Each structure stands twice: as structure tokens, then as C-alpha cells.
Structure 1
Amino acid sequence: MPEQQLRELIREVVAEILAAQRGSAGAESAERTNGLVLFTGAALGFEPALQSLGRLNGRLTLDWTQTPSAERILDQQRIAAIGMTPVSNSLVVGHDVLIIPTLTVNLVAKVAHGIGDCLASNVISDFIMRDKPVVVATNGACPDSPDKRSWYPHIPEQYAAMLRANLATLKSFGVRLCGADQLDTAVVKALEPRAGQPATGAAAVHPDRVITAATVHAMTPGSTVTLMPNAIITDLARDAARQGHITLSRRS
């Protein structure tokens, strides 16, 4: 084969390889899910939330923004070190899932009662109304979380009940509640195709006769689990269920 023809053949082969690589990269980019991480001003759970986001980054395309209080309270260098992209536009329409790693009591109360008077409350409300998945870490907002109890060990029961009720309202809107250390797992779960979920909304059935804290820790955060009619639930299991926002109900 003449040298000129050989060179032309090599150019064609190289061009085809580069085109295939560009096409593959474009397809991967098009298929990748875009997540918006919204930091609000809760310091509790910040460290495990960063670890969860570090595990999640790369599996999703993660952009991030924050409220003014988060900018004052949270370590900006630690956030930047994750490698997410800061954004200020197309917060809702440009993203498939909303992730709030540092949820505040204030934001929970606003959204639970339909108040949208700030960046965070408007963004989360818009995601909810568009039926897009929302995943929040409740370490700073749940009265039963170890982090919250470490700061406020004597929360009056009626006040704690109010905080639980607001979180329950968010859950009824379809918001996924979890601990900061489980944020990445909860996000992946929230993005699973809905076709794979029971069409009737039937809850999982757990066969164990005795439900312990270890049993509850193996359950999916935010899930509803139906137990046998005569199942015994220990006090520690009830505490673990509250912390994981897991609903335990006995089969009738």
C-alpha cells in the first residue's frame, strides 16, 4: 500500500475512534442525573452530610447553592472540596432531584404550611409541586435525632410533637427524610424508576416476631413497614423508627 494511502487510512481510523468516544461521552452526559444540593443554615449533621455528598458526587452531576445563613454558618472550604458546581440560575427546571443536607426547623415549618418567602422555601415548594424528588437530611430538624438531642436533651414533648408533625407533613408531600449519613443512599433510592414500586402503594411486610433497634436499622429510611399482628416492638426499636422516619404498623 502506498504511503499516502496508508496515512489516509490511519486518519480515517483515528477520526472514527474520536467520533465514537465523543458520542459515548455525550450519551453518558445526557443520561446522567442532575442534582441540586441546597445548603441551609443547620450545622447539625454537616460533617456526615459532606461525606454522603462525596460518595454521591460522580454518580450524579451535582450543582450546589446555599442560603445566606448557610454561607455564614457552614465551612465554605469543606463544601468547595467536594467538587460540586456552584449555580444560581435554573435551580428547579435544570435539575432532576433536590438534596438538602442541612435542613432547618424554620424551613420545615414554612414548607409544611405552604409559606414560600425565601430562596429555600420557594425552591423546595417548586420541586414538590412539579413532583420532582426531594431528599432532606433531618439531623438538625428532627427532635429524635441524636444530634438534636445532644444540643437539646430536654425538649418538651409537645414541642417535639410539633416538630415531628411538620416533618410528617413534608413526608406526606413525598419528601424523602433521612439521616445525613444515609443521604447518598436515600437519593439513589428516590431516583429509582417509579414503575418498580408497588402500584397500589402496598407497604412491605416484615416477618419477625420481635422488632428490635437492629431490625429497624436494617429498614429503608422513610419507609412504611407492616408487621405481623402479634409482633413485639421494643422501646429502642420505636426510637430508631422515629429517627429513621420509619412507620411501623401491624397487619390487621
Structure 2
Amino acid sequence: MELRELVKLITSEVLKQLNCPAQQEVLVLLTGGRAIWPRVKFKLEEMKNRGIVLRPVLSEAASRIFDPQELSRIFGVTENLEKTELLATVKKSSLVMLPTLTVNTAAKLAGGIQDTEVTCLAGWALMMGKPVIAVTNSADPDSPELQRLGLAGGKPEHKARLRENLKSLARFGVKLVEADYLLPGVMQALGCDPINNSRRFRVEGVLTSAKVQAAAAENYKIIVAKNTVVTPLAKETAAEAGIEICYE
């Protein structure tokens, strides 16, 4: 082994111990939120680099959508587990994560429906009182991702129903975050390196209600970059939460 590779290996192991000394396991429930995957996969790779053990379970849609080689690079060898093994996996997991939550999965979980492997695992985690974290971008009707796909122009009543599903998940104890805040959210839930010591959310592009909710949950200050669009609902949510939106 070359000296450079040896130094890299030692540095990696030291970082793992500093950031997550318990080598905690996270059960990753992948559904078909393809629009957000390019951003989420880098967060998952960073978690792996920080010493977090990721155990993936794929929905049928995710199995068809995502590249097996890419999944193998992130998670290693994936295997199908029996139901009893899945239940045991939930029990020993420190956290259950839904990084590609879809509108469909959010609606099922909000209604207490457990008719698929993924919804069963998420439901079991909630019933056990396990920490559960979900990325909202592919389930939030106000997200830029759904807007780009042309899926955010429906009736206000329908959009309100989708928003209510996410609110129900939050009431159940699910920590809702946007993709950009998945890593600090997971690290904090695991009691590892908090990463963001400044207690600030710096937002670029679009400030949505979901981002404001994430900041409120962590008592972060919102810093809005130049030319960032602040949606009316984000302003309303910030006012209700008593959070000041600061502009650069």
C-alpha cells in the first residue's frame, strides 16, 4: 500500500471515531423519489465516510429506478431479507431514514397504512419509538423538484391534502428535512458531530415552507442568499414559528 493511500485510510478511520464512535446503524428505506436522488446519494456517501453503517431496503419502484452499481458503491452488497430479519433490523437500528420519500409513501404512512415492505418497516419504527427522518422534496407540493416536473399546478385542495400528509408525519414524530439538510439532521439524531456549529441555515435558490420548518425544528437562523426566491408560504410559516428571515 502506497503512503498516500495509507494516510487516507488512517485519516478516514480517525474521522469515523471522531464523528460517530458507536458505529451506529441506519436503516435506509428507498422509495421512488428519483428527482431528488442525485442530491441525496452524495449525502449517503458522506454518512458512510463518517462511519455510519447504512442498511438499505428498496421498494419495488426503487429497485426498477436506481442503478444497481451505484447502489452497490454506496451500500455494498444488498440482499433480500425475510420478514423476521427485517423486524430484527428495525430493532437494532439507531435510526430509520426515508431519503427519497414520495407522495404515495407519505400518504400511506399518514394514514397508518402498512401494505408494503417499506411502509411496514417505517410503521414498525414509529410503533417502537425509533427516530425516523424523511426527505420531503419528492413529497412536498411546494418543492422546486415537483414544480420542475410540472406536478405542482393542481387544485389548491389537493395540494393542501399533500401538505397535511407531511404535517401528520411530523405529528407522528417523523423529522422532516429537505435534502440539503439530511446530513446534519441524521448526525444530530445519532448524537454524532453536529456539523453545523453556527446554528445557521443558509438558503440558495428557493426558500420553501419545508426549509423554514426544518430551521424551526433545530432553532436555526435562516440566512437567504442573494437572488433567492422566498415563497409566500415560507414567509407565513416563518412568521408563525417566530423565525426571522435574514438577507445577505
Tell me whether the two structures share a fold, i.e. TM-score over 0.5: yes
Listed as ranges, the gaps of 5+ residues in structure 2 are: 1-16, 193-205, 222-228, 244-248
Mapped pair 1:51 → 2:50: no
The residue type paired with residue 47 of structure 1 is P
- What is the aligned partner in structure 1 of residue 172 from structure 2? 173
Determine if contact 1:36/1:97 at 8 Å carries over to the other structure.
yes
Q: How much does 1:70 deviate?
A: 0.6
Give me the whole-angstrom Cα distance separating, in 1, the residues matched to 2:188 and 2:109: 23
- What is the aligned partner in structure 2 of residue 96 from structure 1? 94
- What is the aligned partner in structure 2 of residue 223 from structure 1? 217
Q: How much does 1:181 deviate?
A: 2.6
- What is the aligned partner in structure 2 of residue 236 from structure 1? 230
Give me the whole-angstrom Cα distance separating, in 2, the residues matched to 1:213 and 1:117: 34
Secondary structure of residue in 2 paired with 1:159: helix
Give me the whole-angstrom Cα distance separating, in 1, the residues matched to 2:152 and 2:238: 22
Q: TM-score by structure 2 length?
A: 0.69
Report the structure number with the largest CA radius of gyration: 1
Give me the whole-angstrom Cα distance separating, in 2, the residues matched to 1:41 and 1:220: 23
Determine if contact 1:222/1:247 at 8 Å carries over to the other structure.
no
Listed as ranges, the gaps of 5+ residues in structure 1 are: 1-27, 194-211, 228-234
Q: How much does 1:127 deviate?
A: 0.5
Give me the whole-angstrom Cα distance separating, in 2, the residues matched to 1:159 and 1:126: 28
Question: RMSD over aligned Cα, in angstroms?
Answer: 3.7
- Note the 1:59-70 alignment, pairs <5 A: 59=50, 60-70=52-62
Match of 1:141 among 139, 142, 158: 139
- What is the aligned partner in structure 2 of residue 126 from structure 1? 124
Higher helix share: 2
Q: How much does 1:142 deviate?
A: 0.5
Q: TM-score by structure 1 length?
A: 0.68
Secondary structure of residue in 2 paired with 1:158: helix
Q: How much does 1:220 deviate?
A: 4.3
Mapped pair 1:185 → 2:176: no
Aligned length: 201
Determine if contact 1:62/1:84 at 8 Å carries over to the other structure.
no
